[in-house]
Amino acid sequence: MTPHVAQKARHSAIDGRSTHHPGYALSQRCRQKIEEPFGWAQTFHRDLDKDRA
C-alpha cells in the first residue's frame, strides 16, 4: 500500500493512472480512518469554545 493524497474533483494532480489501482482505494480508506479523530477533535473544541463565550 502506497500513501496517496486525496483526489480533487477539478484540476487534480492525481490522474486516472493512480486512482484506478486497488492500492489507491485502500490508501484512501486508511487515510479516512486516520483523519476522522482530528475532525471530531476540531468539532469538540469548536463547541467547547462556543460554550465558553
Low-confidence ranges of the chain (pLDDT < 50): none
pTM summary value: 0.50
> Could you tell me the three cell numbers for 23?
492500492
Q: In whole angstroms, what is the distance from residue 24 CA to residue 19 CA?
A: 6
| pLDDT at 3 (0 to 100) | 57
Distances (CA, A) of 17 to 14, 22, 24, 25, 35: 8, 11, 10, 13, 25
pLDDT of residue 2: 58
pLDDT for 4 equals: 62
